[in-house]
Structure 1
């Protein structure tokens, strides 16, 4: 199942520099692991913000919650989750790119 995640991690910048830098370093390493596992499928920066929007995959909402809870930045982030359903045009778009 796919989910659109809007993650605003700007509160991490309220922390002392050393603590902030360590969390960001761990967050980037964890993100690479999630990409390798196919959980984090796409990610975009939001211009003018410290947030991002991504497409994440998980078996269900409970599995997604486990992943989100594992994020080093989680205690300092505001996260909005939108479950996604397949649109009927998906097959047509896939055919157009074949």
Structure 2
């Protein structure tokens, strides 16, 4: 199943820079592993904000929830999830 996920990060202003850098580095490694596996298909930064738009390819809602809640930045995120399905006017025969 494909999901469009928008994540907005809100780190506390009083979080020490070293702690924020550590969380971000762990987050980067986790997301890149999922990208290499094909689970996190696309990742785009939203210009001008600390947010991203991503496409996930997972088995079901629960799998997506496990992945998202496993993100090191999860406690500091506002997340919107939208399930996706093929559009009948698409010229593609697959999800590429």
Q: TM-score, normalised by structure 2?
A: 0.89
Match for residue 57 of structure 2?
57
Between Structure 1 and Structure 2, how many residues are aligned? Answer: 94
| Structure showing the higher helix proportion among its residues | 1
Counterparts of 1:6 and 1:21 in 2: how far apart (Å)? Answer: 22
Counterparts of 1:21 and 1:13 in 2: how far apart (Å)? Answer: 13
Alpha-carbon deviation of 1:89?
2.4
Alpha-carbon deviation of 1:71?
0.5
Unaligned 5+ runs, structure 1: none
Match for residue 35 of structure 2?
35
Runs of 4 or more consecutive aligned structure 1 residues displaced over 3 Å after TM superposition: none
Unaligned 5+ runs, structure 2: none
**Contact 1:13–1:20 (8 Å) recurs in 2:** no
1:12 pairs with 2:11: yes
Deviation readout 1:16-58 (Å, 9 max, x if unpaired) = 1011000000000001111011111011111111100011111
